Each structure stands twice: as structure tokens, then as C-alpha cells.
Amino acid sequence: MIISDVDKKYNDLVVFEKLNLTIKDHEITAILGPSGCGKTTLLNIISKTTDYSGTIEGNDGKISYLFQSQRLLSNLTVKKNIEYVLRSYLDKQEREKVTNDILKKVELTEFANYYPSQLSGGMAQRVSIARAFAYDSDIMLMDEPFKGLDISLKKKIIDVFLRLYKSDKKTTLFVTHDIDDALIMANRIIVLSSDGKIVLDETINEPFDERDVGMYGDLRAKIYQAI
């Protein structure tokens, strides 16, 4: 995806001015920066849910959006929540096959007929992740989906996400305030300044299952200073 000379402002507030950024296909790019720097706005621009000037190439395919809140449909079961996003392009038999497969991958098969109100927060987030991966999208946009989870639960949810990502490497942009999450999950880390400029752009090459935040003391300090 190529973002070229993108400008965005709300009334007199300039969020981006001539933003240029290339996002590599099939990689996870983490976006960090202070509150108000334009992280969520960038996701909205890519998903075409807000207007902007400039050009973006490579965002014409299907997009999955994973939010901090699960946004599950309360009147549908776990299984029906996943099937719901598949209804526009798969027949009933194919929807069931895809749904059963993704529920097995996130270890929620026995909860297929539960409603969201019957799930713990961690299970509900796993359903949201399963739904995002079940949808045959080209791009995954994530807006702080792990915020508010305790450390132990967050680690489990991230493990689920990375397991699914390894089998379906969607081009992913991941907005977070948590440096450690970015170090564990991202192929690339970008930091935006308060005025929407790119002030740091770092690549991480180690495989996900070989990473530990303790490996990245210098990089962590560098990111913290940039933020």
C-alpha cells in the first residue's frame, strides 16, 4: 500500500500534511505516537471512512477492522456472528465450513452456540479476532484491540492472533500505545509525532515465536524517546 502526499484536517486542526508512507504487503505494521497524533485517523483514511486529500494505492480490496470493543452482535450466537460477515460472498454450506474451521483454531468450538453476553471478555475478543480472520480480507486494521486486558489474558489473545496471522498473512496496521505489544507483534514499528509526522521507522526481523521484550532494550528506549 502506498500513501502519497495525504493531507487531513478537521476544521483548522491539521492532522496530516503531505504524509508519505509505504506499507509492505503481508506484514504487521505497528503505529505508535501520543494521543491525538492521527493514529486512528490514519486507519479511517485507509478504510475510506473519512475524507482526505492525496492518493492511496493498494487499499481497494476487502478490509477487516478490529476494535478495542468487540462489537459482536448481541442477538446472534458466536457462530452466527462469524457467519454474518461471510453472508455476502459464501453460500450456507461454505459459511458453516469456514466458521467451524476458525472456531476450532481459536479453541471456541464448544462455545459456538453461546451468545456474547455469556462469554468472558477474553473469549469475546477471541471471537472478534476469529471473525476478522474468517472474512476474506486483504487488509486488517486494528485499533488498540488489546487495551484494557490484563497482562496474562493479553498474552493469550496475542498468541491467538499471531497463530491465525501465520496461516493468513493479511496486510495489517496495528495502532497501539503499548511499546511491548508492538515489539512482540510487529514486523515494523512507526512512531508519529504530535503533529502527524513520522519520527521513527524501525524493522524487526526476528520470528514472532523467538521474541522476548527483553531482547529489545535499546529499541524500546528509542521508541519511548520518540513518543
Per-residue pLDDT 10s for the chain (227 aa) are 999 999 999 988 999 999 999 999 999 999 999 999 999 999 999 999 999 999 999 999 899 998 877 789 999 999 999 999 999 889 999 999 999 999 999 999 999 999 999 998 889 988 999 999 999 999 999 999 888 788 888 888 899 899 999 999 999 999 999 999 999 999 999 999 999 999 999 999 999 999 998 999 999 999 999 98
Quick one: pLDDT at residue 149?
82
Quick one: pLDDT at residue 68?
76
C-beta pairs of 177-183 under 8 Å, 24+ apart in sequence: 177/32, 177/35, 177/144, 177/147, 178/146, 178/147, 179/32, 179/220, 179/223, 179/224, 179/227, 180/213, 180/220, 181/30, 181/146, 181/154, 182/30, 182/32, 182/223, 183/211, 183/213, 183/216, 183/219, 183/220
Quick one: pLDDT at residue 31?
97
Question: What does the domain layout of the chain look like in residue ranges?
Answer: 2-61+140-226, 74-137
Q: Does domain 2-61+140-226 have CATH number 3.20.20.70?
A: no
Q: Which residues pair with 32 in a beta bridge?
A: 191
**Contact present, 84 and 151 (Cβ < 8 Å):** no
Q: Which residues pair with 192 in a beta bridge?
A: 198
Q: Rounded to whole angstroms, how far apart are CA atoms 95 and 97?
A: 5
Task: Give the list of residues 6+ apart from residue 194 with CB closer than 8 angstroms, or none.
Answer: 33, 34, 36, 37
